[in-house]
Each structure stands twice: as C-alpha cells, then as structure tokens.
Amino acid sequence: MPRYVMESAPAAVTVISGKRYLYFGGTGYYTLQNHPSLLQAATAALARYGMHPATSRGGFGTTPLYVAVEAAYARFFGAEDAAYIASGYLCNLAGLQALTSAARFGAIFVDRGSHYSMTDLLPALGLPVVPFAYRDPENLRRSLRAHLRAGQRALVVSDGIFPLMGHLAPVPAYLEVAAAYDAVLWLDDSHGVGVLGERGRGTCEHYGLASERLLFGGTLSKAFGAYGGVIPGRKDFVRAVRAGHVMNGATSPTSPAAAAALAGVELLAAHPEWRIQLWNNARMLKSGLRRLGLPVEDSPVPIAAWALESAQRMDGVQRALMARGICIQRARYVGAGPAGVLRVVVFSTHTAEQIGRLLEELQRVL
Ligand SMILES: Cc1ncc(COP(=O)(O)O)c(C=O)c1O
C-alpha cells in the first residue's frame, strides 16, 4: 500500500501527500484538533509552561492546568473525580491496577475483540485471563460458570465501542451477567467518550447505565481533539488510580496537550448540537452504505467498516476513491481478518453533500 503523508490537521478536507482530499479517516470526530480555541489554549500553555509535563511527580507537583483538566472532566462525566492519564493506551493499565489493588479477583474475563491496550496488559495483573467470544454475553456467562471457583469474584473487561468495526459492546447484557456473579465490569470507552450519550459521557450513558460495578476510561485524542486519557469515578477509586504505577511512573501529557484537553471538554460541553450533528451524519452514512448492500450496523457510532471478497479488491476500491479525491481507510487492526477492511469515519463537520458524494463515488467503484 502506498505511504500517505498527512500534511494538514484532520478535517473534512485534509491535505495528504500534497493533494486535498475529502477525508473520512482517523478519529477526530469533531475535528477539534484544529479548532481555534484549542489551538489558542495550547499555544498559550506552551508559552507559559514550555514543553513541560503538566504534572510532575518527580518535580514540584502539579500545574493549575492539570488540576483544571481533572476538575473539568469530572464535571463532564458527572463523577466525583477524574484522573488525567499519560495516554489513552495506559488507561486500562491504570484502571485495572487500581481495581485489582483494591479488591481480590479470581480471574479476568476479556471480550476477544478488545483493543491491544487491554489484551497486552492483562498478563501483567497476575490473574488467570479467560477470553470470551466477541460481543457474546451468553459465552461470558458460560465462561464465568466454568472458570470461577466458589467465593471468587471476577473482573470482566471489554471495549465500549470496538474501534475498527465501530460495533457497540452489549454492555447492558454484560452488566446483567456481571451482577449475577458479583463481578466488576471495566470498559475501554476510548471511542464512546464525547461521542455517545445525551451529555457525551459515552457508551454507559448511551445505554442509560450507571452502577457501582461499572467503570471506564478513555482517550482524549479522539472526540476531545487533544491528548492523554481520562478515568472518571468515585473519589476512592480515582485516588487508587493516582497512587498507581502509571500515574507515578509515566510522564503526564505536556502542558499544551493539557490545555487542549481542557479546551476540548469545554467545547464539547458547550456544544451538544455537535453531538446531534455527528449522530445524524453517522446515520446518513450508514443508511447510505446499507443501501449499497454493505453490512453495517445502525447506530450513532461514527465508524463503519466492511470487508470485500479479497485484499486486492479492497486495495482497488481505496485507490479508485483516492483517484476521485476521496480518502477512506484501508485498515488492518484488531477486529479484522488477515485481509483487513475498508473503513469510513464521519465527522460532525462533514456536510450532507460531502457524505452524499462519498456514497455516490463508492457506488461507482464498488
Ligand atoms: C479502543 C482504544 N483504546 C485505547 C487507544 C489508545 O489511546 P491513545 O491513542 O490515547 O493512547 C485507542 C487508540 O487508538 C483505542 O482505539
């Protein structure tokens, strides 16, 4: 596959290898990465603090910026507190270390489709790891029954939205099974936070779920247009996250990133209409793809992906679209077979005409 070089910020129109494309890739769901308020905040923080970690355990503590980021995300999620983590990738490690340090679990049950940042860390927790079938609560129930000994508690982990295909996890069913076994359910909600739910709180809010046994973390590098990860939750849980290895052992995001994270959450809190626009765009895209005969789910998740019969055919479709000035992803990632998939991401800032044009051109080249 040719190597494309992105030469502008991700936006509905993005410069790639010297040419402007109608762009349907990446994860900048509101294209905040290039929003003037975010750029201004990051630039001001850079001028004030330099390229310095926003908080430094080895130095003289934290910055007002870091404190403000944590308070703003706690407010956004309606949580008692929130921890601002070095990266989205490290959220699962930080969250699960805090959970396993506070309570004893007999085993960890992981949805097989979960992101690398989940599956790679599980052996480090020192508990038996039992994978269960993708988005299959009955298989989870059978696994719990088969692997838990009397008196043992389980930790069940999954992505909230699986990143490649944009599928939602069946969180209500997972929670029901978890409750029957007094288990705790942890979600990597990197693609749900800022995107789903009435207030943008993510997959749990989308499903209307709140429970002491349901916790999550997610990245700030997608919907929020910034960098780092966040874990909202109860005070005691967030305190345990802060006391853990990740927050003490990894450099925090830098001050410009923290300033961007603050601007990003303030923008999303102030503009719920962007979320509605994003969901409408997702529905328009997905219903259009289904009309073309492509098997994509109906949901407000702004990601659609599908496989065609061969890698060559998918390469050909992507190249044909590039030749027509449209960029979609040809992705090989967790959740795809060896041939990979074609993947389209829609932003709140795409117009109906731009989505319509993608669908027309796809119809021509499929
Ligand atoms: C499900 C999921 N979790 C975690 C991450 C990692 O987040 P970050 O890029 O902020 O490290 C990603 C990023 O691509 C992701 O898709």
Distance between CA atoms of residues 355 and 366, nearest Å: 16
Q: Whose CA is nearest to atom 15 of ligand 1?
A: 190
- 87 CB under 6 A from ligand 1? yes
Domain, as residue range, for 314: 13-29+272-365
Ligand 1 pocket: which of 221, 230, 333 to mutate (most atoms within 8 A of CB) = 221
Q: Which residues contact 176 (CB under 8 A, 6 or more apart)?
A: 137
Position 58 in a domain? yes
Q: Under a CB-based contact definition with an 8 Å cutoff, are residues 83 and 242 in contact?
A: yes
Phi, psi (deg, nearest 5) at residue 229: -130, 165
Residue 212 and residue 333 share a domain: no
Q: Which residues contact 155 (CB under 8 A, 6 or more apart)?
A: 96, 99, 100, 105, 107, 108, 109, 127, 183, 184, 186
Q: Under a CB-based contact definition with an 8 Å cutoff, are residues 218 and 88 in contact?
A: yes
| In the block, residue with structure tokens 């992803």 | 329
Query: Measured in angstroms, how far is the CA atom of residue 322 from the centroid of ligand 1?
Result: 26
Residue 338 and residue 300 share a domain: yes
Distance between CA atoms of residues 304 and 34, nearest Å: 23
Residue 217 and residue 346 share a domain: no
Position 6 in a domain? no
- 335 CB under 6 A from ligand 1? no
Residue 61 and residue 45 share a domain: yes
Q: Name the domain boundary from 270, 293, 310.
A: 270
Residue 219 CA: which ligand 1 atom is closest?
10
- 221 CB under 6 A from ligand 1? yes
Residue 105 and residue 251 share a domain: yes
Residue 27 CA: which ligand 1 atom is closest?
14
CA distances from 10 to 26, 123, 190, 265, 302 (A): 8, 35, 18, 18, 15
Q: What is the pLDDT along the chain (366 residues), one digit of tens a residue?
A: 568 899 999 999 999 999 999 999 999 999 999 999 999 999 999 999 999 888 876 567 788 999 999 999 999 999 999 999 999 999 999 999 999 999 899 999 999 999 999 999 999 999 999 999 999 999 999 999 999 998 899 999 999 999 999 999 999 999 999 999 999 999 999 999 999 999 999 999 999 999 999 999 999 999 999 999 999 999 999 999 999 999 989 999 999 999 999 999 999 999 999 999 999 999 999 999 999 999 999 999 999 999 999 999 999 999 999 999 999 999 998 888 899 999 999 999 999 999 999 999 999 999
Q: Name the domain boundary from 270, 287, 320.
A: 270
Position 87 in a domain? yes
- 23 CB under 6 A from ligand 1? no
Four-point Cα dihedral 159, 97, 254, 197, nearest 10:
30
Distance between CA atoms of residues 235 and 258, nearest Å: 21
Position 5 in a domain? no
Position 2 in a domain? no
112-145 burial code (b ≥16 CB/10 A, e <16): ebbbebbbebbeebebeebbbebbbbebbbebbe
Longest dimension (CA), the chain: 62
* Counted domains in the chain: 2
Residue 282 and residue 203 share a domain: no
- 88 CB under 6 A from ligand 1? yes
Q: Under a CB-based contact definition with an 8 Å cutoff, are residues 74 and 99 in contact?
A: no
The CATH number of residue 291's host domain is 3.90.1150.10
Residue 261 and residue 300 share a domain: no
Residue 308 and residue 182 share a domain: no
Residue 298 and residue 194 share a domain: no
For the question of whether the overall pTM of this predicted structure is more than 0.85, the answer is yes
Q: At what angle are helices 352-365 and 311-323 packed, to 10 degrees?
A: 130
Distance between CA atoms of residues 208 and 204, nearest Å: 6
Position 159 in a domain? yes
